Structure 1
Amino acid sequence: PGQIRIEVSSMGLDSQFLTLNSTAAQNEGTEGIAASTKNENLPSLTGCVEELPLRKIELISERGQAFDSSNREKVVRARLHPPETSYQEVQWAVVNDAGIESNIARVEADGHEAKVTALGDGEFRLRCTSRNGTDKIKLISQLEFKVDGLGAAYKDPYSFISAGLYDYSQGEVGNGNERGVATSRDGETQVGFRDIDFGPHGSDTITIPIFALSSEEYSLQIWEGMPGEEGSSQIADCIYQKESKWNVYQEETYRLSKKLRGVTSICFILHQKVHIKGFYFHEGNRAFEQNFAADCDRIYGDTFTIVDNKAVEGIGNNVSLEFDQMDFAEAGSSKLIVNGSSAIDKNTIHIRFESPEGESNQLVEFTQSRGYEEQVFDLEPIAGCYKVTFIFLPGSQFDFGWFRFVRVDGS
């Protein structure tokens, strides 16, 4: 029993005191406890001897917290308290309510200021954090913003898309580790993602980090679109099987049955419990990939037929197939592989390379074949980015399957 004195002090602040009174224990014979307690002095990670910690981050947006089509940018300032804190460094991020990085705005950090650019409709939080001299985030401050009138912001499949950003679900979907999702242990679970912009050339290769509870086989279907919606189709029927490591995501890569192009949606279907962290697609270089003839950006001419969205058959007079944005990089290409079928002795193919700096033409001759076959042609070395046009002149009788340029190093 007696008086208890509590003192709170910190560098840069006036100390404060509180006095409490402790009464004697009601039960006779109870022993008291004597204690003198204070904070431990921990080593500073920055080496500051007189450490002045950051106590508050005040965020100031002088132009408000609403974006629209005429007001797409704002500068937000972080005012640190106290201003002379030992730890001046802060980090900025745009996140949703779950703390997952959002795609509806972009932040460009410049010390204690951040320029925020709205990209699409919705709500987000601008978050500013400080580690306060440690190796972990210790202070978080955030402002809520709303965007209206810009339309949807598309997801970028060539950057990692967190599974927690799903737009559609059926069945039981739970929170997964590291802001992913967990599917149901029993029954079917569907998890879908809308408004993904694959660009004009697209991709057919996806990588998914998965944590499975056992080492057995897990069935995974991938759809373009949401099952049951008009135009949707299954594009992969996969098996995930790896030796399970507790709470560890392991990546698996799958090849889809078609390239996804433009703005579209995908959906995962599972019947067992797994944790999905997210996914990303592999962005290839169109110039050095196998390109189906029907994947051209434009085709025009007198006579041709597109078959199975892959080949262009019956190519006759004055037919041109254009392929945009073919990037041969600095190393370039000096060889071309063409898969086709020629019913006549020789089909002459003119290849035009166009860029802002000018254009050039090369010529190859595809000889007569019994059905589709690959023929290899040497080219004058070509480097840089071009629009490539395959031109068939009068007298042509050619079925065009696909082509691929070969890097100078042979790959």
Structure 2
Amino acid sequence: MHQYDVLVVGGGFGGAFAARRLEHLFKGRGERVLLVAEENFFLFSPLLPEAASGTLEPRHAVIPLREFLPRTTVLTGEVTSLDVAGRRAKAVDLNGHSHEIAFRALILSPGSRPTTRSIPGLAEHAVGFKTLADAIWLRNHVLRQLEAADATDDLELRRQLLSFTFIGGGYSGVEALAELESLTRDAMKRAYPKLRPSDMRWVLVEAADSLLPGLDVRLSRYAERALRKKGIELHLSTQVSSCEGGRVTLSDATVAAYASGTIVWTAGQRPNELARESGLEVDDRGRVPVDPYLRVAGVADTFAIGDGAAVPDPAGTGRPCPPTAQHALRQGIVAANNVAAALGVGDATPFRYRNRGLAVTLGRNQGVAQVKRLTFTGPLAWFMGRSYHLLMMPGLARKSRVVSDWTISLFFPRDVSQLGGLGRPTPLPPPEG
């Protein structure tokens, strides 16, 4: 049995910044903090679309947890069971070995996973866009589609290969589509003279009547116009009825079913099931309700943050805070303060949050941004979004690498190498003779 003062579950924005804050609060003291995360890095998710398009080196969108948290014990693995009342947990590491953990205080931030509706064919033919592996795979897949399209003279097959469908008009879906559309358009101009932009079909399907929820409606409309100007089809107030056989059928009967070689699902996330399986109360969306201090009701010294927590919005909207990186980061810091207070260090504080603004990139030199009541569009908004992401990125070395990538992308085209074999070693041949 390993004893810790604080157990942090999850290495995303909430968990990583909670542990980092605890390092500061416990500096020079003897408290021990354990963070359990499925990867040995913290993914800076706002940069995921640029990592997918090749604008940014994928490694520069992550921060190694052991470097980010030098005084925290990091266990790469998964918490498989949690006895909140008994202050016990079990985790399994990469070797499959089980670890028994005892703790005094708990911060739950296990994040979320894609959730799909019962759409025929979706699970078989669609991919998600949540992890770094998703981004790398999708980039390689898009480039592979270009190669396959270039190799065929069958126009119907070419149209299928170059048909890209994104389901979900939130921030990640819009940014990923816009970045990858720019990648393919640039690649065609430089490396695929046989192919034309008119051979491609980019489709974005959104069930709501506008894109980018939470943004000023004027910015949503601007984004819609900008995407349509690129030739991207937008189907708002529309749902996907079927993806069987790789053919997309929409609820809008005026749109004929079509074969799509790429289907990306970004329409929904559901909190990790750990809280529910541990017997904690959850709402209808699987989130743990917490009070303004981020405390779980009825359980001492237990806090929940991030995608898996229903945190009361300090703005008084009556709804929980949206599951954004901004909110998770701030919640992590406040949860750490309150955990430390529960252990006798400092005072507890409620979660207060002032929105620093939102920015969405729509491909190279195009974007929308909102700071309080001010709205910005075009290249200025694109630059503001990059500047804000750079400010959020921890560490001078990581910031420098990101700036270097961005600078190179301003003067040189994206690399179109298909690195589909990454992570898979070439098998050795059988013995000769």
Taking structure 1 as the reference length, the TM-score comes to 0.23
- Normalized per residue, the structure richer in helix is 2
Taking structure 2 as the reference length, the TM-score comes to 0.22
- Normalized per residue, the structure richer in strand is 1
